[in-house]
Structure 1
Amino acid sequence: MKVVRAAYAGACYGVQRALDLALKAVEDGGCAYTLGPLIHNPQVVAQLAECGVRAVDSVEDVAGAGTVVIRSHGVTPEVKRSVAACGLPLVDATCPHVARAQRAAADLAEQGRHVVVVGEAGHPEVEGLVACAREAGAPVSVVAGPDDLPETLEGPVGVVVQTTQTREALDAVVAALEERGVQLLVKNTICFATRQRQEAAAALAGEVDAMVVIGGRNSSNTTRLADICAAACSRTHHVESPDEIDPAWLAGCAVVGVTAGASTPEEQIEAVATLLEAL
């Protein structure tokens, strides 16, 4: 059985940067805390905990004088103020693309626009985008698609998008807004690395007998990759580790494709690929 890896797969710059900053915080200060998981990869978060980088739910859960690390998905401005008020050292590991999306949301709000966030309601990145827009005084709507748009949108509208969304999702919302004839300004804040991984995964899925998608089940970009692959290849399987692979999934397959989400480090991809090659 031949194993083919997607042209673009695995940990992106923003994730690697966050990991490096968190580990450096431990080296410099002895103990570090992330507000929520640093990235959406349970195995990596467990490894970080062993190194002294612990995930907590809130600033109040930080013990002693440890360094607070802002996760790659970003946080709300209010959370940053809470950290500052406690006088704790802060390392901001927000992905630069997420930070750009937060600035875009605030800019649209400052222009007096109703801000429409295209993304997954409740996701930490989306919560940060919403908070940035609301702090600038704008009404905000979070939509996954055109059907979620409010029946009435007063005044000009600004659109910003979760960095790991698909271009198709953004285009569908924009098209629906254009049909209404609203005054519209769109900020396409989809991360280029996300788009690369989605396009490479779709291309590979159309050429293989089965696809294996590697990454956390709590990772939006990884689950989205799995959905994209499943649309082109019915034998698509989402796993977090090699232990989950059932050889029966791949019975009769001559070629198996492998891709991975932006929160999946190289060693996890290699471990899965090595197991597949041995089947």
Structure 2
Amino acid sequence: MSHIEIEVARYAGVCYGVERALGMAEKAAVEARKPVNTLGPLIHNPLVVNDLESIGVGTASSVSEVEEGTLIIRAHGVVPSVVEDARTRGLDVLDATCPYVKKVHNAAERLVREGYQLIVVGESGHPEVEGIMGHAGDDAHVVSVPGDLDAIDLSRKVGVVVQTTQTPGALADVVAELSKRTMDLRVINTICSATQERQDSAAELAHRVDAMIVVGGKNSGNTRRLAEICTAACPKTHHIEDASEIEPAWFDGVSHIGVTAGASTPASHIERALVRMRSLLES
């Protein structure tokens, strides 16, 4: 099977916000004289979280679990009250919230301040969405599909922001329905350009190959969406978290394999997948 071509998507793997957060955590671990913990997983990639633990960066599920030292706010961001609570407890707060997520926070606050009924297009319960809702106050609703709008009073002007890792299609579907229901609609497209680039390049590649490998955390929303996009174009799509999951049977009858990875997937994880694939194909 050595004649099989392997091609990596033009845009794949770790984005600026994740790279920045990882760098901040690693630097804190090196410089710290007291415990260093992240509030929840720094990013949605269990392998990376394990790597951080190996250098002394722990994971706390709540502020109350951390008695001293540094608390790192993860890339997804949190509600403002969490930061206030941590500082009140005397913790050193290191804010690794992605700058693009902060833009969503600012946009949500501005729309609410200007009197808009806020709609957040995103995944209910996702840490990023919870953080956005915390900045929006009580008068906001999370919508993932147009049908979710049925339970919302849309009698006044409506403002929209988007979870950074959502697809343009998901936003367009909700906006199209809102356009039918309200005369005063303001949409601030806060989808991250890195997310868009990865989705577009993954879709382009998936249309040209016989099989796709999507590398990244199974708990990563943006990686799962990449897998969905690839599956729509290439039914032989496999979402893996670790290179060891790759099976040789996936490549039977295949001549061209595409590889992409979520924005929380370091380059080293992609390389491990490539090494395993090449090894399997040469055996």
Measure the CA separation in 2 of the matches of 1:154 and 1:22: 45
Measure the CA separation in 2 of the matches of 1:182 and 1:241: 48
Shift, 1:152, TM fit: 2.8
- Match of residue 235 from structure 1: 236
Which stretch of the first structure deviates more once superposed, 150-159 or 123-132? Answer: 150-159
- What whole-Å deviation, never above 9, does each CA across 1:123-168 have from its counterpart, x for those lacking one? 000001111111xxx5111010111113531311110000000011
Pairing partner for 1:127 from 124, 127, 130 = 130
Measure the CA separation in 2 of the matches of 1:229 and 1:34: 32
SS of structure 1 residue aligned to 2:259: strand
Measure the CA separation in 2 of the matches of 1:98 and 1:82: 21
- Alignment length (residue pairs): 275
> Which letter maps to 1:29?
A
Pairing partner for 2:27 from 20, 24, 36 = 24
> Which letter maps to 1:139?
D
- Match of residue 175 from structure 2: 174
Measure the CA separation in 1 of the matches of 2:183 and 2:59: 43
Is 2:158–2:182's contact at 8 Å kept on the other side of the alignment? no
Pairing partner for 2:37 from 33, 38, 61 = 33
Taking every aligned residue pair, what percent have the same amino acid on both sides? 52
SS of structure 2 residue aligned to 1:252: coil
2:114 is aligned with 1:114? no
- Match of residue 275 from structure 1: 276
> Which letter maps to 2:26?
L
Report 1:173-192 matches (<5 A): 173-192=174-193
> Which letter maps to 1:181?
T
- What whole-Å deviation, never above 9, does each CA across 1:93-136 have from its counterpart, x for those lacking one? 000000100111111110111110000000000001111111xx
Measure the CA separation in 2 of the matches of 1:214 and 1:200: 14
For the aligned residues, what is the CA RMSD? Answer: 0.9
Report 1:94-109 matches (<5 A): 94-109=97-112
SS of structure 1 residue aligned to 2:38: strand
Shift, 1:84, TM fit: 1.2
SS of structure 1 residue aligned to 2:258: strand
Measure the CA separation in 2 of the matches of 1:146 and 1:198: 22
SS of structure 2 residue aligned to 1:10: coil
2:53 is aligned with 1:49? yes
- Alpha-carbon spacing, 1:216–1:10, altered in 2? closer, same or farther (3 Å): same
Measure the CA separation in 2 of the matches of 1:51 and 1:42: 15
- What whole-Å deviation, never above 9, does each CA across 1:15-40 have from its counterpart, x for those lacking one? 00000001111122233111100000
Measure the CA separation in 2 of the matches of 1:242 and 1:27: 28
- Match of residue 266 from structure 1: 267
Runs of 4+ in 1 over 3 A off after TM superposition: none
Shift, 1:182, TM fit: 3.2
2:215 is aligned with 1:214? yes
- Match of residue 147 from structure 2: 147
Unmatched segments (≥5 aa) in structure 1 = none
- Alpha-carbon spacing, 1:151–1:115, altered in 2? closer, same or farther (3 Å): closer
Measure the CA separation in 2 of the matches of 1:35 and 1:263: 17
Measure the CA separation in 2 of the matches of 1:215 and 1:197: 13
Measure the CA separation in 1 of the matches of 2:77 and 2:107: 14
SS of structure 1 residue aligned to 2:13: coil
- Match of residue 77 from structure 1: 80
TM-score norm. by structure 2 comes to 0.95
Is 1:2–1:277's contact at 8 Å kept on the other side of the alignment? no
Which stretch of the first structure deviates more once superposed, 83-92 or 203-212? Answer: 83-92
TM-score norm. by structure 1 comes to 0.97
Shift, 1:87, TM fit: 1.3
Measure the CA separation in 2 of the matches of 1:151 and 1:102: 21
Unmatched segments (≥5 aa) in structure 2 = none
- Alpha-carbon spacing, 1:151–1:62, altered in 2? closer, same or farther (3 Å): closer
